[in-house]
Amino acid sequence: MDTAQLLFKLILVVIIFAISLVIALYSTYAERKVAAFFQDRLGPNRAGPFGLLQPFADGIKMFLKEEIIPTNASAFLFVAGPSLAILTACIGSAVIPWGQKLTFGSTVIDLQVADINVGILYIFGVVSLGVYGIMIGGWASNNKYSLLGAIRAASQNISYEISMGLAIIALLLVTGTLSLRGIAEQQHGFWANGYFTWNVFKQPLGFLLFIICAFAETNRTPFDLPECETELVGGYHTEYSSMKLGFYLFSEYINMFVSSAVMATLYFGGYNFPFMDMISSPNWVTIIGVFLFFIKIALFIFFFMWVRWTIPRFRYDQLMDLGWKTLIPLAIANIVITGIVITFLNR
Amino acid sequence: MSTFYFIAFLSVLFSILVITAKNPVHSILYLILTFSTFTIHYILMNAQFLAIVNFIVYMGAILVLFLYTLMLMNLNKDSEPFKSNLVKVAAYVGGACFLITIISSLKAFNTSQLVILKDPNLGLVKNLGKILFNEYLLPFEVSSILLLSAMVGAVLLATKESKTT
């Protein structure tokens, strides 16, 4: 890889990092506006026009608050917890293909940071690491409520990871590749050979399982038991203040953004869109594709919020019942059915 | 090669910290770091699939469970069983004997001879999958069914327990 290529990659990393942070920033604003709409209120409207500067005001507030490390907390791990949470949230975006290649004369820019051939497993690994930030922070706080929140987060993540992995296996039976770029390319256009190309039409049950597990892995309502404020004060971040609390809240929104991007790539065609072959210029196809990819991501983020303000939180035994007795059998059945259908179609 | 030595140094260092750490939770955290250095070793050996599986299974699942159980147990310094000096001396002597045995057996087997893989790209997903599903199909399928049945069995055991109580 020559220097120019390396420089493009570096610029791409910075751009993606900035985009994830800005989207996470405005997700907090959108969340409050959506909540206000659902509850027939106005929402934030004081800072700037339509309250658009509200996220920055919140950020400044977070930075100016007093930094508190409890006396009995283990200081290093107390700081490491939120840092790890935001780190694992950010590294997931490295393998997502944001668009097709851009060509300017002889230089070709690949809109993906790293096209590793085990991309989907990488995403899965990052998701499974995500729980450490919460667990370490919750344990280091030396507080009963924090510890309970951390333990809930761990058991919830492990339970839902299994069905998520099984849902991915069924998807892999259809695609036959582990590379996210390969999966995105297979969903070219919208309609080919008498059927939809997008994987959501080939794996509807798998998509349903995946989105439920994505809700559980990002700790969003109805699965936000780790920070359930009616039972646990603030859950794992009870003892946190200032920007360390901000990191935890922020990492949730970045997680939401990354998992929306993964779902859009795996099941909703990624950067592909209907009638994309009718546009002759490949660069325009790429630009429109990237734009539509972000529209898809935004719709998924809206869906996350929609569910949050519609469905109440699960009780703990309901959560475990859903994970172990409903989702796992469904996921295994999905694998078996997919295998049988593929065998008959290939005959 | 220098990368290898650096990572190998880190793995040995973190492994030592695992057993010397006073706090069990700290020792699990060092174990997580040890496994992450193993992942880097696998990547250096061009075994991408093994690296990522090590990442998911060991770092992502098994050690989370370790940490989970350790957090549930109340391990205080007061409740730690007191060991007399005689037991400590005996442990040192036994450990030293074991170390000498291992080193001498390694010498006897001449394991320092390098084994060179016929196919250096064996660790990539495609090649590994082809070998697993052609040459080793039966053991692979049997072990996967075993793992699946173990998981389903664990769920069954858990549900029966909750009905009787």
pLDDT score recorded for residue B94: 93
| Contact check, Cβ <8 Å, A129/B125 | no
Residue A119 included in any domain: yes
Confidence of residue B100 (pLDDT cuts 50, 70, 90): very high
Cα A221 to Cα A215: distance, rounded to the nearest angstrom:
7
Residue B69 included in any domain: yes
Lookup result for tokens 């849902």: A167
Residue A48 included in any domain: no
Whether the CB-CB separation of A92 and A262 falls below 8 Å is answered with: yes
- Check whether B75 has a pLDDT greater than 60: no
Backbone angles phi, psi at A20, to 5 degrees: -60, -40
Residues B16 and B66 in one domain: yes
- Check whether B8 has a pLDDT greater than 70: yes
Residue-wise pLDDT for A55-108, tens only, equals 888 888 888 888 888 887 777 888 888 888 888 888 888 888 887 877 777 777
Residues B87 and B35 in one domain: no
Chain A residues touching residue B52 (CB < 8 angstroms): 118, 121-122, 125
Residue A28 included in any domain: no
Residue-wise pLDDT for A270-325, tens only, equals 888 887 777 777 778 888 888 888 898 999 999 988 888 888 888 888 888 888 88
- Check whether B161 has a pLDDT greater than 70: no
pLDDT score recorded for residue A9: 82
Residue A167 included in any domain: yes
Instruction: Specify the range with the lowest mean pLDDT, choosing from A7-16, A84-93, A184-193, A238-247.
Output: A184-193
Of A121, A150, A332, the CB nearest to B56: A121
Contacts of A37-46 with CB under 8 Å at 24 or more apart are: A38/A306, A38/A309, A38/A310, A39/A309
Cα A238 to Cα A146: distance, rounded to the nearest angstrom:
6
ipTM: 0.77
Percent of chain B with pLDDT over 90: 13
Which residue does chain A place closest to B39, by CA atoms? Answer: A125
Chain B residues touching residue A149 (CB < 8 angstroms): none
Cα A335 to Cα A339: distance, rounded to the nearest angstrom:
6
Which residue does chain A place closest to B68, by CA atoms? Answer: A151
| Contact check, Cβ <8 Å, B151/A162 | yes
In angstroms, what CA-CA distances link A295 with A113, A271, A314? 20, 10, 30
Residues B29 and B5 in one domain: yes
Whether the CB-CB separation of A138 and A180 falls below 8 Å is answered with: no
| Contact check, Cβ <8 Å, A151/B25 | no
Residue A38 included in any domain: no
pLDDT score recorded for residue B156: 81
Structural domain of B60? 1-75
Cα A119 to Cα A177: distance, rounded to the nearest angstrom:
10
Cα A323 to Cα A157: distance, rounded to the nearest angstrom:
10
| More confident: A192 or A162 | A162
Chain B residues touching residue A217 (CB < 8 angstroms): none
**pTM to 2 decimal places:** 0.84
Which residue does chain A place closest to B55, by CA atoms? Answer: A125
- Token couple for B65: 């469970």
Cα A86 to Cα B112: distance, rounded to the nearest angstrom:
43
| Contact check, Cβ <8 Å, A117/B25 | no
pLDDT score recorded for residue A174: 86
Chain B residues touching residue A132 (CB < 8 angstroms): 32, 64, 67
pLDDT score recorded for residue B73: 73
Domains contained in chain A, number: 1
Q: For the beta carbon of residue A181, count every other beta carbon within 10 angstroms.
A: 22
Task: Tell me the longest C-alpha to C-alpha distance in chain B.
Answer: 60
As a dihedral over the C-alpha atoms of residue A149, residue A150, residue A152, residue A156, rounded to 10 degrees, the angle is 130
Q: For the beta carbon of residue A156, count every other beta carbon within 10 angstroms.
A: 24
CA distance A128 to chain B (A): 5
| Contact check, Cβ <8 Å, A117/B29 | no
Structural domain of A78? 68-346
Q: Residue B16 maps to which CATH number?
A: 1.20.120.1200
Q: Which of residues 82-121 of B touch A (CB under 8 A)?
A: none
Cα A226 to Cα A145: distance, rounded to the nearest angstrom:
9
Cα B156 to Cα B39: distance, rounded to the nearest angstrom:
34
pLDDT score recorded for residue A148: 83
Cα B119 to Cα B113: distance, rounded to the nearest angstrom:
18
The dihedral built from the CA positions of residue B118, B123, B127 and B129, taken in this order, carries a sign that is positive
Q: Read off the pLDDT of each residue in B57-85 and give the average, rounded to a whole number.
A: 74
Whether the CB-CB separation of A302 and A34 falls below 8 Å is answered with: yes
Q: Read off the pLDDT of each residue in A234-248 and give the average, rounded to a whole number.
A: 82
Whether the CB-CB separation of A346 and A338 falls below 8 Å is answered with: no
Residue A317 included in any domain: yes
pLDDT score recorded for residue B80: 61
Chain A residues touching residue B55 (CB < 8 angstroms): 125, 129
Cα B31 to Cα B14: distance, rounded to the nearest angstrom:
7
Which residue does chain B place closest to A127, by CA atoms? Answer: B60
Domains contained in chain B, number: 3
Q: Is A196 helix (H, G, I), strand (E, B) or coil?
A: strand
Residue B127 included in any domain: no
Cα–Cα nearest to B128, from B36, B72, B46, B9: B46
Chain B residues touching residue A328 (CB < 8 angstroms): 151, 155
- Token couple for A48: 């700037």
Residues B18 and B70 in one domain: yes
The helix or strand, by DSSP H or E, that contains position A102, with its residue range, turns out to be strand A102-104
Q: With b meaning 16 or more CB within 10 Å and e meaning fewer, what string describes A187-218?
A: bbbbeeeeeebbbbbbbeebbbbbbbbbbbbb
Backbone angles phi, psi at A224, to 5 degrees: -90, 40
| Contact check, Cβ <8 Å, B52/A324 | no
Give chain A's count of helices (H) and strands (E): 13, 4
- Check whether B81 has a pLDDT greater than 80: no
Which residue does chain A place closest to B56, by CA atoms? Answer: A125
Cα A31 to Cα A24: distance, rounded to the nearest angstrom:
10
Average pLDDT, chain A: 84
As a dihedral over the C-alpha atoms of residue A99, residue A104, residue A108, residue A109, rounded to 10 degrees, the angle is -40
pLDDT score recorded for residue A224: 78
Residues B36 and B9 in one domain: yes
A167 Cβ contact list (under 8 Å, min separation 6): A206, A207, A209, A210, A213, A331, A334
Lookup result for tokens 């059998």: A329
CA distance A44 to chain B (A): 39
Residue B100 included in any domain: yes
Residues B59 and B28 in one domain: yes
Q: Read off the pLDDT of each residue in A180-195 and give the average, rounded to a whole number.
A: 79
pLDDT score recorded for residue B63: 85
| Contact check, Cβ <8 Å, A117/B124 | yes
Residue B128 included in any domain: no
Of B38, B56, B75, the position where a domain reaches its end is B75
- Check whether B82 has a pLDDT greater than 80: no
- Check whether A1 has a pLDDT greater than 70: no
Residue B130 included in any domain: no
Residues B118 and B58 in one domain: no
Confidence of residue B125 (pLDDT cuts 50, 70, 90): confident
Chain A residues touching residue B60 (CB < 8 angstroms): 124-125, 127-129, 161
Lookup result for tokens 């998911």: B56
- Token couple for A22: 């800005």
List % helix, strand, coil for chain A (3-state, nearest 5).
70, 5, 25
As a dihedral over the C-alpha atoms of residue A237, residue A243, residue A249, residue A250, rounded to 10 degrees, the angle is -150
B50 touches chain A (CB under 8 A): no
Interface test with A, best of B67, B75, B149, B161 (most A CBs within 10 A): B67
| Contact check, Cβ <8 Å, A128/B56 | yes
B19 touches chain A (CB under 8 A): no
Confidence of residue B111 (pLDDT cuts 50, 70, 90): low
Residues B108 and B44 in one domain: no
- Check whether B98 has a pLDDT greater than 90: yes
Percent of chain A with pLDDT over 70: 99
Backbone angles phi, psi at A221, to 5 degrees: -55, 140
